[in-house]
Amino acid sequence: MALRAPPWLRHSTLNSQLSTSLNSYDLVVIGGGPAGTSGADVAACAGKSVALIEKAVELGGAGINTGTIPSKTLRESALALSGWRSRRLFGVDLSLRREATITDLMYHEQRVTADERARLSQVLSSEKVERFHGDARFLDPHIVRVIAPDGAETQLRGEVILIATGSSPVWPPEFAFADERIHDSNEILQLTTLPRKLAVIGAGVIGCEYACTFAALGVEVHLIDGRDALLPFLDREVSRTLAAAMVENGIAFHWKERVAQCVAPGPGPVALTLGSGATLECDGVLVCAGRSSNTGSLALAVAGLTPGKRGLLEVDAQYRTAVPHIFGAGDVIGAPALAGTSVEQARIAMCHAFSLAAKANLATILPTGIYTIPEASMAGETEESLRAKCIDFVAGWARYIDNPRGKIIGDETGFLKLLFDREKMRLLGVHVIGEQATEVVHIGLVAMLAGAGAELFDRACFNYPTLGDLYKYAAYDAMTRRSQPHR
């Protein structure tokens, strides 16, 4: 007896009748953020016909419009206009203006964001990627309907479909987000005035980054979190150093606390009642309670897909979903949910979808960059993970203050920490806190991907004075410790 295809693999009668009017493509991409545009780029460069659907007016997703680039640009503006770096370097305020306005702060962010959107649009146009603006919804596993803002409908058929719809901030019910003083991590960039006192709910990466930016601007910042340690995935030494630096910069931590109630009366301050019974009044609240995948309106069931918790798509190592021709990449599939990894995931997905030899697998080691003040970054193993795996290791340190470039930039607390396996001195982990940490980490990342270790840093000659030279002295420190009696 012949096997029949399941219902979700058979076109409906309606769609069969409409098939002659469908726009057909080798690839239909749903979502125009880092993952979606990366996937479209790979397929188009391989000569495939590509359609890209974006719900928002502008391309770029959270990476360009509401998250990665805007928040990091705002951080740089805050450091420059507030005179934060000059205060650290010289002990005096050398900022051009004692009080930067919100317009001053947002000018550079808006310019950088606009330039990046224009660049992205030009790249897609040059590759003849057709773009559609509107809401996407599956009609069957191969056909996606797009409803434009004016109500016009277009149906797109893709031999391959890439879902890259990203994620959105979670809105806990206890917060009245309609109030102009209560923000999520997307909407905070639309501020028209700076709050005097800001409560940040959630000490994850996003919460910590924004807490540091606003503290640099002189805002009184309170950071509330249910845990008892900062960013516990970090090396503990880095975590403790970052927490101490944030306190020194004026941030008040409220550990092992949650917001039980948020009351936002008309003209009065926003009143927060914490789980312990303590109260906190402020004129601004930033809620960083995690993110959920933007899959709710896609009608995934029609395509044969069932989303998981918070709308996440489950994919395999090639980023293929349970439906073989449908792939997922970026925030929509969950952690690590970083712009850089999202781009790589989409590239790999499209290489597998179209049998391209360019890229088969994601790198085995991924970096994490945290744009707090100071920056922190890591790649590979931590001391804690090595101990849990019973791997014998040796650590080496190099402090910024002992490095000429570190002295020049005035960083007194930063350091580089390298972890090597004791037998062969192969590099297993790199941890950095301090100025340019998210750049410095890449030297160690590449060394680990190449399977290199202390001998490489001993052999290498670094420019002088540079922070890169920290690697040589951290390796020397580890080699010295290795020669000492094993404790």
Report for 56-60, 79-83, 96-100, 416-420: range of highest mean pLDDT = 416-420
Question: Could you tell me which of 481, 398, 381, 479 has the C-alpha nearest to residue 440?
Answer: 398
User: In sequence order, what are the beta bridge partners of 328?
Assistant: 163
In contact, 440 and 238? CB cutoff 8 Å: no
- How many angstroms separate the CA atoms of 274 and 337, rounded? 30
Tell me what the mean pLDDT of segment 62-87 comes to. Answer: 76
User: In sequence order, what are the beta bridge partners of 293?
Assistant: 167
Beta strands, E only, 164-231: 167-169, 182-184, 197-201, 220-224
- How many angstroms separate the CA atoms of 193 and 381, rounded? 42
Kindly indicate the confidence band of residue 193, based on its pLDDT and cuts at 50, 70 and 90.
confident
Residue 89: burial class (beta carbons within 10 Å; 0-12, 13-18, 19+): middle
What mean pLDDT value characterizes the chain? 89
Token pair in block for residue 14: 């309606």
Percent of the chain as helix, strand, coil, to the nearest 5: 35, 25, 40
Tell me what the mean pLDDT of segment 414-433 comes to. Answer: 97
Pairing of strands 427-433, 376-380: antiparallel
**Range in 57-61, 293-297, 409-413 the model is least confident about:** 57-61
Provide the 8-state DSSP code for 352.
Answer: H
Question: Could you tell me which of 354, 372, 90 has the C-alpha nearest to residue 223?
Answer: 372
In contact, 393 and 403? CB cutoff 8 Å: no
**CA angle in degrees (0–180, nearest 5) for 310-312-315:** 165
Kindly indicate the confidence band of residue 90, based on its pLDDT and cuts at 50, 70 and 90.
low
Q: What is the pLDDT of residue 21?
A: 56
Q: What is the pLDDT of residue 71?
A: 85
Say whether pLDDT at 251 is over 50.
yes
pLDDT tens column, 140-170: 999 999 999 999 999 999 999 999 999 999 9
What 3-state class would DSSP assign to 67? coil
In whole angstroms, what separates CA 270 from the centre of its chain? Answer: 29
**Range in 53-67, 193-207, 278-292, 416-430 the model is least confident about:** 53-67
What 3-state class would DSSP assign to 95? coil
Reported residue count of the chain is 487
Q: Which residues are within 8 A (CB) of 204 and not within 5 positions of it... i.e. 6 or more apart?
A: 231, 288, 290
- How many angstroms separate the CA atoms of 429 and 444, rounded? 8
H/E run at residue 236: helix 236-248
Torsion of CA 245, 247, 250, 256, to 10 degrees: 140
Residue located via tokens 């900022």: 95
Say whether pLDDT at 97 is over 70.
no
- How many angstroms separate the CA atoms of 154 and 137, rounded? 11
Q: What is the pLDDT of residue 72?
A: 86
Q: What is the pLDDT of residue 101?
A: 64
Beta strands, E only, 381-475: 393-399, 415-421, 427-433
What 3-state class would DSSP assign to 222? strand
Residue located via tokens 């990046």: 116
- How many angstroms separate the CA atoms of 448 and 425, rounded? 11
Q: Which residue has the higher pLDDT, 64 or 138?
A: 138
Q: What is the pLDDT of residue 421?
A: 97
Tell me what the mean pLDDT of segment 6-28 comes to. Answer: 54
Say whether pLDDT at 264 is over 80.
yes
- How many angstroms separate the CA atoms of 95 and 373, rounded? 17
Pairing of strands 153-163, 143-147: antiparallel
Q: What is the pLDDT of residue 114?
A: 86
Token pair in block for residue 262: 């948020």
Q: What is the pLDDT of residue 110?
A: 82
Kindly indicate the confidence band of residue 375, based on its pLDDT and cuts at 50, 70 and 90.
very high
**Range in 102-116, 240-254, 355-369 the model is least confident about:** 102-116
Residue 485: burial class (beta carbons within 10 Å; 0-12, 13-18, 19+): exposed
- How many angstroms separate the CA atoms of 165 and 142, rounded? 17
Residue 22: burial class (beta carbons within 10 Å; 0-12, 13-18, 19+): middle
Say whether pLDDT at 9 is over 60.
no
Say whether pLDDT at 100 is over 80.
no
Q: Which residue has the higher pLDDT, 106 or 387?
A: 387
In contact, 249 and 213? CB cutoff 8 Å: no
Say whether pLDDT at 13 is over 50.
no
Share of the chain above pLDDT 70, in %: 91
Kindly indicate the confidence band of residue 93, based on its pLDDT and cuts at 50, 70 and 90.
low
Kindly indicate the confidence band of residue 98, based on its pLDDT and cuts at 50, 70 and 90.
very low
Phi-psi region of 256 (alpha: psi -120 to 50; beta: other; left: phi over 0): left
Tell me what the mean pLDDT of segment 215-219 comes to. Answer: 90
Tell me what the mean pLDDT of segment 121-149 comes to. Answer: 94
Torsion of CA 273, 277, 278, 284, to 10 degrees: -10
Number of H helices, E strands in the chain: 14, 22
Q: What is the pLDDT of residue 327?
A: 98
Q: What is the pLDDT of residue 478?
A: 98
What 3-state class would DSSP assign to 427? strand
- How many angstroms separate the CA atoms of 333 and 344, rounded? 13
Q: Which residue has the higher pLDDT, 140 or 114?
A: 140
Kindly indicate the confidence band of residue 360, based on its pLDDT and cuts at 50, 70 and 90.
confident
Tell me what the mean pLDDT of segment 300-316 comes to. Answer: 94
What 3-state class would DSSP assign to 375? coil
**Range in 81-90, 108-117, 458-467 the model is least confident about:** 81-90
